[in-house]
Amino acid sequence: MPNTIAKQSYSQRAENANHPLSAYLLRLIAVKKSNLCLSADVSTTQQLLHLANTIGPSIVVLKTHYDLIANWDYNAEHGTGAKLARLARRHAFLIFEDRKFGDIGNTVQLQYTEGTAKIIEWSHITNVNMIPGKAAVDALADAAARWRERKRYEVKTDITVGTPRPESVESDEEDVTTTPTPEELGLDTYRAASAGRKSSIVSITTVSQHFEPANSPRSYEEFGHESFPGIEEPPMERGLLILAQMSSKGNFMTREYTDACVESAREHEDYVMGFISQETLNTEPDDQFISMTPGCQLPPKDVNGDAKLEGDGKGQQYNTPQKLVGQMGNDIVIVGRGIIKAADPAREAERYRKAAWEAYEERIGS
């Protein structure tokens, strides 16, 4: 292993994680004994929510492609994103929108925070293809920091209504509700205009604004007994994964590109949680990044676990959880069709969860 962190337990790593959401995810993995992410590549809201509800108990991350959903509801309070947030809290998993931002900084900021989807509002994690350069990561980190500050505080407005005291009615003091200011008239003219003027009984309205801590923005409803036991709600943070390596055959992600991804991640440790990669990229003593890995597949139950796994004919190459987690040191395996297309997706998700967890325990010598 290139870094001793691969031999540490998830709980140990949670204590030293630089990113609050990474620390939460690592603790969540330990609580659920799951290092499985479901890639929910489906085409309708009904399919997506059904998978989230039925597979939710087995996973720690749900990966989405919102633009695949033909009937995605963009309503901020009751739409698809809000419903996913409710299921995420009920079953304790994080939502990862696999957006793969890949444009200039200003564009990716707008894609992340604006438009119909407003990804930043409902997705805990997103990712970036760093081909355009480091500016894309810089811009997303800036957008997340500004979003967090807006969500951390909300404006409270206080309005009070009253009337002058009785003794002020007969006073010879100027009536500030009708008399211009000294700056408007000049001091001498102001004094002359105010001489002998009586106050009127008027209503006085005072408006003041101040900032108070806001509640968590992740949900619009009280969860009550539906909250998952054993762990609190995720922190009010957003996280980024950098697409550093791919599982597709013939991809153009060179070692130089991957090294640049790691360098950028180290510059934004308060926002970048880790990588989409085929191996752990923690190479320096202080590296605490999480690696999430696609291209995971198990042979059928009646086939030897060492059997050669075929690709999907569209460039995807597969590896077992034992290789990805146990040998390559990755943290979370991403599985899509292997679960979704199974006769019993919930049962198959448990088979993947168990295999990936056993590979982790073997890796750390548990």
Q: List, run by run, the mean pLDDT of 10-residue segments along the chain (366 residues).
A: 81 95 98 98 97 97 97 94 94 97 96 95 97 95 94 57 50 44 48 48 51 41 62 94 90 92 97 97 94 93 59 69 96 97 97 98 90
> Any binding-site annotation on 142?
no
Q: Is 272 helix (H, G, I), strand (E, B) or coil?
A: strand
Distance (Å, whole) CA 336 – CA 5: 27
Q: What is the pLDDT of residue 205?
A: 54
Catalytic positions: 98, 100, 103
Q: What is the rounded distance in angstroms from the CA atom of residue 3 to the CA atom of residue 331?
A: 13
Q: Is the sign of the CA dihedral 224, 228, 232, 237 positive or negative?
A: negative
305 labeled part of a ligand binding site? no
Does the annotation list 245 as a binding residue?
no
Question: Is residue 99 classed as helix, strand or coil in its secondary structure?
Answer: strand
Q: Is 316 annotated as a binding residue?
A: yes
Do the beta carbons of residue 290 and residue 22 sit within 8 Å?
yes
**197 assigned ligand-binding residue:** no
What is the reported pLDDT for 199?
47
Q: How far apart are CA 311 and CA 180, in angstroms?
A: 81
**Strand partners for 212:** 154
SS3 (DSSP) at 301: coil
Where do the domains of the chain lie? 4-150+218-364, 157-212
CA distance 55 to 60: 10
Q: Which fold is adopted by the domain 4-150+218-364?
A: TIM Barrel (3.20.20)
Write the pLDDT tens digit of every residue in 11-49. Answer: 999 999 999 999 999 999 999 999 999 999 999 999 999
Where helices occur in 33-67 by DSSP H, the ranges are 45-55
CA atoms lying within 13 Å on the CB side of residue 366: 15
CA–CA distance, 296 with 91 (Å, rounded to integer)? 23
Is residue 336 marked as binding? yes
